[in-house]
């Protein structure tokens, strides 16, 4: 990486601006107008990559957010410097990546990736909560989007450079390594009807629950469809699904229910049994024999996993090489 120092006159000017900013800060006199003057003075001296300046607008919106998140950094040059680098380096990386894309003839206009703000909004539910989260982590919507863009662009360029190739042999080797964890145990499908009991039921409650489930059991033996009985009478969480638990292996259920499931034949309905949750009727469904997950079922998953690991491992070295090949001029000492 080639980084040229600012001229001595600019250095003195930057030092003057910084000292003025510090003095105003300590005196509590730094107003929005003061800040805008300082920002305008420094806008042209942030950084350039091969003569192309970074976006001062994105820099200052991010640095203002970082100052909100880290108020104790105010007036402390080392901490201020660290925050400035945090806001500046992604902007330099953006220009470095755009330069490399132009050099190798890769168009970035069709680059697509999942909107990180939309993803965060799903987690935080409301715009207000999202903004509070961004404020707490010292990021803006633009800085979050830029980081996602940098990752996607770096991956695209590394792919173009042949740095993310994954061979069939590598994928198969990963499958063999993971094979012990891919074994499917024998499983059976089951459904249940539940009449709940309190955590400490009285004898009367136990008897009342038993009488209720006995009536339902007789109706099942008489031929009424089990899933309809569940929908009409069950008090369990799977009522709307006809009581369908899905496929279960040994060890998945409480012991009394598990023992009952594995003792039944396919399509049999058990007699009433009691657990700590209440009274149950269990219906057993189809059986799945033990097997290994086929290679074709996980080939794509393992390919993406290996590619992601190679990207994470090689990204820093790749970006460092691009930075080194660029002429980066900055008032701050930057190093990837």
Residue 236, domain CATH: 3.10.50.40
Q: Is 300 domain-assigned? A: no
Judge if 64 and 205 occupy the same domain: no
Q: Pick the residue with more confidence: 191 or 20?
A: 191
In a domain, 274, yes or no: yes
Strands 183-184 and 327-330: unpaired
- Give the whole-angstrom CA distance, residue 242 versus residue 285: 13
Q: Are residues 118 and 8 in the same domain?
A: yes
The answer for residues whose C-beta is within 8 angstroms of residue 205's C-beta and 6 or more apart is 197, 198
66 and 204 housed in the same domain: no
156-178 in b/e form (b: 16+ CB < 10 A) is bbbeeeeebebeeeebeebbeee
168 alpha-carbon distance from chain centroid: 28
250 and 115 within one domain: no
Q: Which domain holds residue 132?
A: 2-164+326-330
Question: Is there a domain that residue 189 lies in?
Answer: yes
pLDDT at 171 over 90: yes
190, 287: one domain: yes
pLDDT in tens, 243-291: 999 999 998 999 999 999 999 999 999 999 999 999 999 999 999 888 8
- d(CA 295, CA 193) in angstroms, rounded, equals 37
Q: Note whether 100 and 322 are within 8 A (CB).
A: yes
Helix axes 127-137, 56-69, angle to 10 degrees: 90
What domain count does the chain have? Answer: 2
In a domain, 269, yes or no: yes
Terminus-to-terminus CA distance in the chain, angstroms? 9
Q: Do 240 and 123 share a domain, yes or no?
A: no
Is residue 79 included in any domain, yes or no? yes
Domain co-membership, 222 together with 148: no
Q: Is the pTM of this model over 0.75?
A: no
Domain assignment of residue 172, yes or no: no
Report yes or no on 134 lying in a domain: yes
If one counts every other C-beta atom within 10 angstroms of the C-beta of residue 289, the result is: 8
């Amino acid at each position: 990486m080639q980084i040229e120092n600012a001229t001595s006159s600019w250095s003195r000017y930057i030092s003057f601006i910084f000292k003025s900013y510090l003095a105003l800060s300590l005196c509590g006199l730094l107003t929005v107008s003061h800040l805008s003057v300082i920002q305008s003075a420094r806008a042209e001296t942030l950084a350039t990559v091969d003569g192309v300046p970074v976006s001062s607008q994105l820099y200052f919106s991010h640095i203002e957010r970082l100052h909100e998140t880290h108020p104790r950094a105010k007036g402390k040059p080392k901490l201020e410097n660290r925050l400035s680098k945090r806001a500046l380096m992604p902007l330099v990386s953006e220009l470095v990546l755009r330069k490399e894309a132009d050099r190798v003839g890769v168009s970035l206009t069709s680059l697509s990736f999942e909107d990180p703000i939309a993803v965060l909004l799903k987690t935080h539910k409301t715009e207000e909560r999202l903004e509070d989260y961004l404020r707490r982590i010292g990021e803006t919507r633009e800085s979050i989007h830029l980081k996602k863009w940098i990752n996607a662009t770096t991956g695209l360029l590394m792919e173009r450079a042949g740095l993310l190739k994954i061979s069939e042999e590598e994928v198969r080797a990963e499958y063999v390594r993971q094979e012990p964890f891919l074994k499917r145990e024998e499983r059976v499908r089951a459904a249940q009807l539940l009449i709940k009991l309190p955590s400490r039921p009285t004898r009367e409650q136990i008897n009342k629950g038993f009488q209720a489930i006995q009536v339902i059991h007789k109706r099942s033996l008489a031929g009424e469809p089990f899933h309809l009985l569940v929908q009409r009478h069950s008090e369990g969480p799977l009522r709307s699904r006809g009581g369908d638990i899905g496929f279960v292996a040994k060890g998945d259920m409480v012991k009394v229910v598990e023992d009952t499931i594995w003792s039944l034949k396919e399509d049999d309905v058990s007699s009433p049994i009691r657990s700590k949750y209440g009274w149950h009727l269990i219906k057993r469904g189809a059986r799945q024999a033990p097997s290994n997950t086929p290679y074709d079922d996980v080939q794509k998953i393992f390919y993406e996993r290996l590619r992601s690991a190679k990207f994470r491992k090689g990204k820093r070295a790749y970006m460092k090489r691009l930075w080194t090949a660029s002429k980066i001029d900055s008032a701050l000492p930057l190093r990837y």
